[in-house]
């Protein structure tokens, strides 16, 4: 007695295989175009925690830095360091180029994992080359005012950040930045106006955020940013009051 074998599904036709190949190629090209134009996440893709921001900065800068994006923070080294707390604790490699005003001891005391940092305090005339090298390997590259860059250099570095999926955090104006956070009008509270023991420090904060499109409209948000009550207590959070 013989047993009939189950029928095998028909082989995929050459036309079907060709369609699948073209679809895969189109999807790959779409991802490349999106990355080139600064669109690096789809709604179904969870954000990378190596680019996370501390909750009090969410109102001003969003929950995460966008890979391939450029962000600017001016007026407060403390706020700049605060933006590095979560990434440094969650596995990000962070390069700091041409920003000698950043105090690494103070950064450590507010919670930055300084072992994740690569420092180049004085890049000299090699700033464009060193910045490009940093963007190749570091998740976040902080570019300070001591890094002498031309407008062409900035455009090229922004394009490189998009290609690598890494982020630039600048301390001076940068054309096309996703968010530019400006802090001014600081007030200090504590004995002798905080000169010997700082209780709180508050800045007026203004964030200009560009829309999803690369040349989208700018949206402005104003708030008050307050420093933690004790700088020497690590991992305390900043607070934002609209």
CATH classification at residue 180: 3.40.50.300
- How confident is the prediction along the chain (242 residues), in pLDDT tens digits per residue? 545 545 545 545 555 566 666 666 666 665 655 555 554 444 446 788 899 998 778 888 989 999 999 999 999 998 899 899 999 999 999 999 999 989 898 888 888 999 999 999 999 999 999 999 999 999 999 999 999 999 999 999 999 999 999 999 999 999 989 999 999 888 877 665 545 555 677 888 999 988 654 455 668 888 887 765 443 343 344 444 44
65 contacts 166 by C-beta, under 8 angstroms:
no
Residue 6 belongs to some domain of the structure: no
Residue 18 belongs to some domain of the structure: no
> Is the overall model pTM greater than 0.85, yes or no?
no
- Its domain, for residue 145, covers 49-241
- Strand residues in the chain grouped as ranges (E): 70-74, 94-97, 117-120, 140-143, 167-170, 179-189, 200-210, 218-226, 239-241
Residue 163 belongs to some domain of the structure: yes
């Amino acid at each position: 007695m013989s047993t009939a074998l189950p029928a095998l599904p028909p082989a995929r036709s050459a036309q079907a295989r060709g369609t699948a190949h073209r679809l895969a190629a189109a999807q790959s090209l779409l991802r490349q175009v999106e990355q080139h134009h600064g669109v690096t996440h789809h709604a179904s893709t969870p954000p990378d925690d190596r680019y996370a921001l501390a909750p009090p900065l969410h109102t001003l800068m969003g929950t995460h830095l966008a890979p391939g994006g450029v962000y600017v923070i001016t007026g407060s080294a403390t706020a700049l360091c605060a933006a590095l707390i979560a990434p440094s604790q969650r596995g990000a490699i962070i390069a700091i180029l041409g920003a000698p005003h950043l105090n690494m001891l103070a950064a450590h005391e507010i919670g930055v994992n300084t072992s994740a940092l690569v420092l180049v305090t004085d890049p000299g005339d090699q700033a464009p080359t060193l910045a490009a090298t940093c963007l190749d390997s570091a998740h976040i590259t902080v570019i300070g005012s001591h890094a002498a860059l031309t407008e062409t250099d900035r455009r090229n570095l922004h394009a490189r950040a998009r290609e690598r999926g890494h982020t630039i955090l600048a301390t001076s104006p940068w054309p096309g930045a996703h968010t530019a956070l400006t802090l001014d009008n600081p007030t200090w509270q504590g004995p002798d106006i905080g000169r010997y023991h700082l209780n709180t420090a508050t800045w007026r904060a203004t964030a200009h955020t560009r829309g999803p499109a690369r040349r989208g409209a700018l949206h402005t948000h104003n708030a008050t940013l307050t420093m933690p009550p004790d700088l020497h207590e690590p991992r305390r959070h900043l607070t934002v009051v609209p």
